[in-house]
């Protein structure tokens, strides 16, 4: 049988829901990826904040292999050790006391939305179902999560959308006070708006949200799907806001590349999702949990978080240096190893320019360069990226 992926003909059979670069990646190790021509890339995306501890990280590969030899899957009618152990670890290291497992970010937010509605219904009555969300936010691609997402571009053509979602501008305390009321079951936010342009929320706004939610008896939900699991230099981003949420959504880097999501909550909140109210066939799968346990071990038992803070500062310094020299750079934003460069105009060729020079990056609308390198990146690799960016900006100027 001839290998049709060699002729690239098989690609036609994949639905065209993504605009992909014409690159076929075949292998990864640490911060590096290789394509089928053997060309090597430095990955500044981590598979969009997923492979944060590096591609094919040895300890995680071993944990996954060992689990695959033991048990792939049972149903959630029975117990497995990896699932219980992971729940314990996540709760031990956070405000949370209970974990519900699913398979993706959207599923974890969907679970949080269901929990909020059930909680509102049970504690304050059937009219208490509204979720207040932020404009510019991103929460996933299911019907409920595109509705929570405060960007109409993700919603157009998919109407009718579910009821019960309200949006306010980020960092506008007055707007939040006005929008939240007796129908509000929860306030949902990303501590840093990720897809929406790497915009950290003001501490004052986050603590106002905490106060407003508590006064109403509503839940405060943090979507840490992108910024959780060490990305900002602490295990969870909320630790740097001075505020504990009632519910937190995780996915992306939780399994370092194996699909897993988690929705965490305090016990008396999670209790409202009783037996039969929510489920996922694959949720808490032993192999994904084995990977996530190893991720938790590395994040909590090594100096990796300190590394993220140091390397994040270094990247920030280098980007600030560029910004001082190139007027087209409007803003540099981020925390730890989620950093973004915003330009005052569109550079449609930027992503391809960097790709050709061996850097995988995320560029939104040609205006925003988003950098999410694996935590095992070294300063010299960040120097190389900054030099390439400098080369690009110099070319634009001439
Ligand atoms: C990526 C992302 C999601 C959706 O995650 P999927 O795994 O793609 O469903 C939800 N929320 C945030 C903040 C994200 O960055």
CB atoms near residue 3 (< 10 Å): 7
**Closest-lying ligand 1 atom to the alpha carbon of residue 145:** 10
Measure 104 CA to ligand 1 centroid, in angstroms.
7
Give CATH 3.90.1150.10 domain extents, the chain.
2-56+305-397
12, with CB counted inside 10 A (0-12, 13-18, 19+), is exposed
d(CA 298, ligand 1 centre) in Å:
23
CATH node for 58-301 = 3.40.640.10
- What does the buried/exposed string (b/e) look like for 298-322 if buried means 16 or more CB atoms within 10 Å of the residue's CB? bbeeeebbebbbebbeebbebbeeb
User: Tokens 């829901």 — which residue?
Assistant: 17
> Tokens 């949080």 map to which residue?
112
Q: pLDDT at position 351, please?
A: 96
Q: Is 224 in the pocket of ligand 1 (CB under 6 A)?
A: no
- Give the closest residue (by CA) to ligand 1 atom 10: 139
**Is the pLDDT confidence value at 3 over 60?**
no
The pLDDT-based confidence of 11 (bands split at 50, 70, 90) is confident
Assess whether the previous peptide bond of 134 is cis (omega < 30° from 0).
Answer: no
Q: Residue 143 has what pLDDT?
A: 98
Return the pLDDT at 1: 41
Q: How confident is the model at residue 6, as a pLDDT?
A: 61
* CATH number for the domain formed by residue range(s) 2-56+305-397: 3.90.1150.10
- d(CA 189, CA 249) in angstroms, rounded, equals 10
The pLDDT of 159-163, averaged and rounded, is 98
Is residue 106 within 6 Å of ligand 1 at its C-beta?
yes
pLDDT at position 2 is 47
Name the segment(s) of the chain with CATH classification 3.40.640.10. Answer: 58-301
Distance CA 103, CA 105 (A): 7
Q: Is 228 in the pocket of ligand 1 (CB under 6 A)?
A: no
CB 367: neighbour CB atoms within 10 A? 17
Distance between CA atoms of 319 and 386, rounded to whole angstroms? 7
Q: Is the CB of 196 under 6 A from ligand 1?
A: no
DSSP-derived pairing of the beta strands 247-250 and 219-223: parallel
- What's the mean pLDDT in 219-232? 98
What tens digit of pLDDT does each residue of 297-340 get? 999 999 999 999 999 999 999 999 999 999 999 999 999 999 99
pLDDT at 235: 98
Atom of ligand 1 at shortest range from CA of 106? 9
Is the CB–ligand 1 distance for residue 254 below 6 Å?
no
Q: Which atom of ligand 1 is nearest to the CA of 223?
A: 13
Q: Is 120 in the pocket of ligand 1 (CB under 6 A)?
A: no
**195 within ligand 1 shell (Cβ under 6 A):** yes
Q: How far is the CA of 112 from the centre of ligand 1 (A)?
A: 13
CA distance 294 to 264: 19
Task: Report the chain's mean pLDDT, rounded to a whole number.
Answer: 96
| 5, pLDDT greater than 80 | no
DSSP letters, 324-380, are: HH-TTEEEEEEETTEEEEEESS--TTHHHHHHHTTEE-EEETTTEEEE---TT--HH
72 Cβ contact partners less than 8 Å away, ≥ 6 residues apart: 285, 286, 287
Dist. CA 387 → ligand 1 center (Å)? 31
Give the pLDDT mean for 378-386.
98
pLDDT of residue 366: 87
What CA–CA distance (Å, rounded) separates 219 from 227?
20
364, 199 contact by CB (below 8 A): no
Q: Which secondary structure element, helix H or strand E, spans residue 289, and what is its range?
A: helix 286-301
Ligand 1 atom closest to the CA of 261, numbered from 1 = 7
Tally the residues of the chain.
Answer: 398
Q: What's the pLDDT tens digit per position in 32-65?
A: 999 999 999 999 999 999 999 999 999 999 999 9
The Cα–Cα gap between 169 and 172 comes to 6
Q: Is 223 in the pocket of ligand 1 (CB under 6 A)?
A: yes
Residue with tokens 């992108």: 226
Residue nearest to atom 11 of ligand 1 (CA): 139
336: Cβ below 6 Å to ligand 1? no
Predicted model pTM: 0.97
pLDDT of 281 higher than 60: yes
Give the percent of the chain with pLDDT over 90: 96
Weakest mean pLDDT among 14-23, 93-102, 135-144: 14-23
Ligand 1 center to residue 107 CA distance, Å? 9
Between CA 112 and CA 114 the distance in angstroms is 5
């Amino acid at each position: 049988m001839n290998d049709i992926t060699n002729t690239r003909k098989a690609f036609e059979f994949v639905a065209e829901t993504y605009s992909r670069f014409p690159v076929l990646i075949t292998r990864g190790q640490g911060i590096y990826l290789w394509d089928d021509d053997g060309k090597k890339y430095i990955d500044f995306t981590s598979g969009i904040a997923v492979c944060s501890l590096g591609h094919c990280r040895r300890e995680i590969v071993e944990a996954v292999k060992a689990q695959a030899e033991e048990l792939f899957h049972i149903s959630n009618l029975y117990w497995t050790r990896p699932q219980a152990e992971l729940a314990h670890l996540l709760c031990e290291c956070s405000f949370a006391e209970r974990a519900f497992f699913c398979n993706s970010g959207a599923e974890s937010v969907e679970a949080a939305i269901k929990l909020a509605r059930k909680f509102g219904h049970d504690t304050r009555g059937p009219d208490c179902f509204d979720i207040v969300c932020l404009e510019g936010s991103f929460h996933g691609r299911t019907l409920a999560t595109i509705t929570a997402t405060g960007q109409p571009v993700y919603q157009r053509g998919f109407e009718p959308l579910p009821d019960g979602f309200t949006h306010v501008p980020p960092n506008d305390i007055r707007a939040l006070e006005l929008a939240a009321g007796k129908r509000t079951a929860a306030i949902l936010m990303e501590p840093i708006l990720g897809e929406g342009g790497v915009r950290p929320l003001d501490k004052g706004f986050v603590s106002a949200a905490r106060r407003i939610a508590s006064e109403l008896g509503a839940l405060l939900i943090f979507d840490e799907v992108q910024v959780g699991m060490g990305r900002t230099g602490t295990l969870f981003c909320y630790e740097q806001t001075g505020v504990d949420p009632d519910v937190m959504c995780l996915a992306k880097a939780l399994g370092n590349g194996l699909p897993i999501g988690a929705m965490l909550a305090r016990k008396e909140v999670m209790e409202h999702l009783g037996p039969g109210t929510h489920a996922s066939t694959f949720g808490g799968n032993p192999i994904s949990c084995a990977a996530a346990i190893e991720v938790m071990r590395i994040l909590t038992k090594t100096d990796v978080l300190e590394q993220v803070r140091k390397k994040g500062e270094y990247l920030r310094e280098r980007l600030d240096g560029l910004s001082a020299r190139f007027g087209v750079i409007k803003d540099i934003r981020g925390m730890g190893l989620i950093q973004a460069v915003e330009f005052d105009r569109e550079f449609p060729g930027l992503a391809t320019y960097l790709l050709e020079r061996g850097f995988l990056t995320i560029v939104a609308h040609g205006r925003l360069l988003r950098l999410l390198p694996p935590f095992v990146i070294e300063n010299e690799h960040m120097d190389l990226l900054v030099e390439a960016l400098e080369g690009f900006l110099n070319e634009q100027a001439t």
